[in-house]
Structure formats: C-alpha cells, structure tokens
Amino acid sequence: MRVELNVNGEDWALDVEPADVLLDVLREKTGVKSPKIGCERGDCGSCTVLMDGKTVRSCLVLAVESDRHVITTVEGIGRERLSQLQDFFISNNSFQCGFCAPGIVLSASELLELNPQPTREDVQEALAGNLCRCTGYEPIIEAILAASREESS
C-alpha cells in the first residue's frame, strides 16, 4: 500500500504493509530515528510524534492512518534553531539518559502551544504519558514552567 506523508517538512511517498506501524516506517523508511521503541504498546511514550500538531504514540498508529498527514518529530521542532523550550531543557540539565527526551519535548511543546501558562499540575498531566526512569521528572517540569514564564514576559 502506498502512503504519502510529510515528515518534518519533507514529502514522502512510501510503500507499506497493512500491519506496519508509523513508528517503524519513520525509523526504517524515512531514517528519522528520534521516536524510540520502548514498549510497543503505548505505555511509555518514547515513540511520541506530532500528527498534524497533536501528539500520538506512533507505535499505535498504523502507517496507513498517517496517509496525507503532517508528522513532526523533535528533529522538526528544532530544525532552524532550537525552540525556547529546548534551550530551557538544556540549560536546566533536565534530561539524563535522554531516551525519553524526544517524546517529552513534543508533549511539552504541544502543551505550551495549547496552554501557554500551564500550572504545575497541567505540566504533570501533559507528561503523564511519557515515562522517564532517570530524572524523577522534577528538572523537566521546572524547565517547562520556566519556558512558559519566559514566553509570557
């Protein structure tokens, strides 16, 4: 089956199997490796991507469902220059191993897009689908709140 999709601003036409999931197609056929394989059942959020600006777990999206949609991964977020949020993640030493980072950057970007002035609880809720085993989340939450304060000032 043939699907046409836009990944980080580039158009792709790809042959896929009916059972292929978007995660594998992104990684194997477009070479975009930031969405990670963590659990393959939607629990961990490492495979999070934006589909038309909304977060989805790409391990649970069939490749055929992405036909004629726009996919953004973390490579697409910071393509020209890093977003302010990414800068805060760096300066705050938010991540440790970094395996969850691509997914968390996208979930947090979506949050700030929809809700530029989130409360701590809003941030916790937005991140609740992205598991991080290293950080205890605190330095990630702090960076997102700092980025939102910077945005408003």
Partner 1 sequence: MTTTFPFEADAGAEDLKSVGTPEVRIDGLDKVSGAAQFVDDIDFGPNLLHGAVVESPHAYARIISIDTTKAEQVEGVVRIVTGKDFPYKFGLYMEDRYIFAQDHVRFVGEQVAGVIARTHRAALQAAKLVEVEYEVLEPLLDPMAAAAPDADLIHPDLAEYTHVPWFFPKSETNIAHWRKIRKGDTDKAFSEADFVLEDTYNVPRYAHCAIEPHVTVSRLDHAGRLTVWSASQSPHTQRHLFAEALAPLGFTHKDVRVITPYVGGGFGGKAGVSMEIIGVAMATTVKGHPVKVRFTREQEFYNTYQRQGVVAELKVGVKNDGTITAVEHKLYWDAGAYVEYGANVVNAAGLSATGPYRVPNISNDSLCVYTNLPPGGPYRGFGYSEFHFGLESHMDRIAEAIGMDPVEFRRKNAIVEGDELSYGGHMNPSGLIEAIDKTAEAIDWGVEEESDNPNTVIGKGMALFWKAPAMPPNASSASFLKFNEDGSVNITVSGMELGQGYLTVMAQIASEVLSVPVEKIRVETPDTDRNPYEWQTVASHVTWSSGLAVEKAAIEAREKIFEVVEQAYNFEDDTLYLEDEHVKSTTSRDFVLPLADFVIDGIQLDDGTWRGGPIVASGKFMPEFTNANSDPETGQGGHPNVHYTVGATGVVVEVDKETGRIWVRKAVLAVDAGRAINPDLVKGQITGGLVQGLATVLYEDMRFDENGRLLNPNFTDYKIPTAFDIPDEMIPIIVEVPQPDGPFGARGVGEHTMIAAAPVIANAIYDAFGVRIKTMPLTQERVAMAIRGES
Minimum Å distance from CB 106 to partner 1? 10
Q: Which of 15, 33, 65, 113 binds partner 1 (CB under 8 A)?
A: 33
Residues between 109 and 148 that touch partner 1 (CB under 8 A): 123-125, 127-141
SS3 22: helix
Residue in the block written with tokens 């191993």: 97
Residue ranges in 63-92 that form contacts with partner 1 under rule CB under 8 A: 73-75, 78, 82, 86, 89-91
End-to-end CA distance of the chain: 49
* Binds partner 1 (CB under 8 A): choice among 25, 34, 66, 147: 34
Count the site residues for partner 1 by CB under 8 A.
Answer: 51
Rg for the chain, CA atoms, rounded: 15
* HEC profile of 84-152: HHHHHHHHCCCCCCCCCHHHHHHHHHHHHHHCCCCCHHHHHHHHCCCCCCCCCCHHHHHHHHHHHHHHH
Instruction: Choose which of 6, 37, 51, 70 interacts with partner 1 (CB under 8 A).
Output: 37
Residues that bind partner 1 in the complex, under the rule CB under 8 A: 27, 31, 33-34, 36-41, 43-44, 46, 73-75, 78, 82, 86, 89-91, 93-102, 105, 123-125, 127-141
